[in-house]
Amino acid sequence: MTLSFRQRLRSGDTLIGSLVQMPLPEVAEIYATAGYDWLFVDLEHAPTDPRAALDILTAVDTRVPCVVRVPWNDEASIKKALDIGATGVIVPLVNTVEDARLAVGRCKYPPAGFRSVGITRAQRFDLEFADYMARANDEIAVVIQVEHVDAVRNIEAILDVPGIDGVFVGPFDLSGSMGKPGKIDDPEVQAAIGAIVEAARKRDIALCAYAHTPAHALTYRKLGYRVIGLCTDYIMLARAAASYLKEAKA
């Protein structure tokens, strides 16, 4: 039996994905063909809307799980991401227990939550409605972003909220909220990240991180992070373009 993305999060698998920010389905298809474990479809910091995200998810279909980062922790954004067939959502700026409860509740159908029922791509346009409804609550992954000093202060209570499958640490925004923008190696910032890591480990919640380079990915893996978003499509293209040009002119 093929495990869902959520089951793989909970089983301890190491999953290497990448951030898809280009609103182009063929880019996602390249990643799927290359063998990436998952795709981080970004609707927060990318020029991508739900229509483009739908095209991306359709292009790779069941070949690779697509987790959508919504622009905000609101019902409409989460509902649209799940209805187009996302295997999970990444919810930014979860700073309080109430934020966490709302994030989980918006991803789960009653009685576990209060997600409303739409009949669209997730349900294969009604052709697989009953099957989807029976398994959605068990298979949809809820990953929260912890990226603010307020979240660090509340981290124990936040991660006690049932239904959180992963924690995505946002070191750059965290450092900014601490008055040290970009200084992610600062001892106080690292101590804050350490508190997040320890709280997640105690509860066996998957630690997730953005890795700017393959070397960063290896470092995170050694630190116990199991879910890696390796770079972005834009950055990979920019680096390859610069490298190819330099080599051709050498």
Q: Catalytic site residue 45?
A: yes
* CB-based contact 122:62 (threshold 8 Å): no
Ranges assigned E (strand) in the chain: 15-20, 38-42, 66-69, 88-91, 141-146, 166-169, 206-211, 227-232
Can you read off the two tokens belonging to residue 92? 């930014």
Amino acid 215 reads A
Residue of 45, 148, 212, 216 with catalytic role: 45
List Cβ<8 Å contacts ≥24 apart for 113-116: 113/137, 113/163, 115/78, 115/79, 115/82, 116/75, 116/79
Query: What does the buried/exposed string (b/e) look like for 94-131 if buried means 16 or more CB atoms within 10 Å of the residue's CB?
Result: bbbeebbbbbbbbbbbeeebebeeeeeebbeeeeeeee
Tell me which residue has tokens 């109430």: 98
Q: Which of 42, 78, 79, 66 is nearest to 170 (CA)?
A: 42
Catalytic residues: 45
